[in-house]
């Protein structure tokens, strides 16, 4: 019996070691494959100006997030290739390897950490409410008995659901939420603070003075890719230190 227990212990330990080696090997292969291709495939949902949106003049995806990941890729000796998709599809695309990285104003949450890994944060954000400029709705308390809209899969949607006494309508993208508010279908659109403030540059809109929440924003990558994640983090740190990120914030007004 003692010999059997010892044998089982050895077998279990061997299995653990093999699993660790296998995971590390897969992680190394993931980053090695990206470096060999020379291309960083990025999943993004281009409906969130000024972070990511389609420029109608060129039909290209532009924005703060786009410029930043272009700069990160350049630091790593890579070029970028963007794949537009629904926001709620990006995490799935990262997990199954369809894209190497998700860059779409992702707020860092414990729930998302169960599915993907985050880079170090590159921006501090939060959720707030965008309304018509002439709307009597000015605070969270004013939303009791009212309706708001927010984008599916976003932290803004979670913030919308937490507004007491308010009916949260969850829609496919942020533009739909804003259009619903503009047309009077809902009384507010719950958005990232920077996004809402960008819309509020137009005199027809305004935003709550007090945000609903505060969050940090980061890019997402497939789990168990430590070398890739470390390379990304070092690039972000360098771009923060040399002032590149500050210049991009100024350029895009975020």
Q: What is the pTM of this model?
A: 0.72
CA-to-CA dists, residue 110 to 29, 72, 114, 118, 119, angstroms: 27, 25, 7, 10, 14
Local structure of 56: helix, strand or coil: coil
pLDDT of residue 14: 46
pLDDT of residue 215: 87
> Which residue segments constitute the domains of the chain, with CATH numbers given?
2-123+216-252 (3.40.190.10), 126-214 (3.40.190.10)
| 83, 98 Cβ separation under 8 angstroms | yes
What's the DSSP call for residue 51?
Answer: T
The torsion of the CA quartet 131, 132, 133, 137, rounded to 10 degrees, works out to -50
pLDDT of residue 133: 96
pLDDT of residue 18: 46
pLDDT of residue 20: 46
pLDDT of residue 10: 42
pLDDT of residue 1: 45
pLDDT of residue 194: 84
Which stretches of 34-166 are assigned E, i.e. beta strand?
39-44, 47-48, 52-55, 60-62, 79-84, 101-107, 117-118, 123-132, 147-151
Half-sphere exposure of 167 toward its Cβ, with a 13 Å CA cutoff? 7
What string of pLDDT tens digits covers the 254 residues of the chain?
Answer: 444 444 444 444 444 444 444 444 444 588 999 999 999 999 999 998 899 999 999 999 999 999 999 999 999 999 999 999 999 999 999 999 999 999 999 999 999 999 999 999 999 888 999 999 999 999 999 999 999 999 998 889 999 999 999 999 999 989 999 999 999 999 999 998 888 988 999 999 999 999 998 889 999 999 999 999 999 999 999 999 999 999 999 999 88
Q: Cis (ω within 30 of 0) for the bond into 50? A: yes
Among 237, 220, 221, 231, which Cα is nearest to 73's? Answer: 231
pLDDT of residue 125: 83
């Amino acid at each position: 019996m003692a010999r059997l227990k010892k044998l089982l212990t050895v077998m279990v330990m061997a299995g653990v070691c093999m699993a660790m080696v296998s995971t590390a090997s897969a992680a190394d292969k993931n980053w090695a494959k990206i470096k060999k291709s020379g291309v960083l495939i990025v999943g993004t949902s281009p409906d969130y100006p000024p972070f990511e949106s389609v420029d109608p003049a060129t039909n290209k995806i532009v924005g703060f997030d786009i410029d930043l990941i272009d700069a990160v890729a350049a630091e790593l000796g890579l070029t970028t290739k963007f794949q537009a998709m629904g926001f709620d599809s990006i995490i799935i695309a990262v997990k199954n390897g369809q894209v190497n990285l998700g860059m779409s104003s992702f707020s860092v949450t414990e729930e998302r950490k169960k599915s993907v890994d985050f880079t170090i944060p590159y921006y501090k954000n939060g959720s707030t409410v965008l309304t018509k400029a002439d709307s009597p709705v000015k605070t969270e308390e004013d939303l009791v008995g009212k309706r708001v809209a927010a984008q599916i899969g976003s932290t803004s949607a979670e913030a919308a659901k937490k507004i007491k006494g308010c009916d949260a309508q969850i829609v496919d993208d942020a533009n739909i939420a804003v259009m619903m508010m503009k047309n009077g279908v809902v009384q507010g659109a719950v958005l990232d603070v920077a996004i809402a403030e960008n819309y509020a540059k137009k005199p027809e809109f305004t935003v709550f003075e007090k945000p609903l929440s505060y969050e940090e924003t980061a890019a997402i990558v497939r789990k168990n890719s430590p070398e890739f994640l470390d390379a990304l983090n070092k690039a972000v740190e360098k771009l923060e230190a040399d002032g590149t990120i500050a210049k991009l914030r100024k350029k895009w007004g975020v």
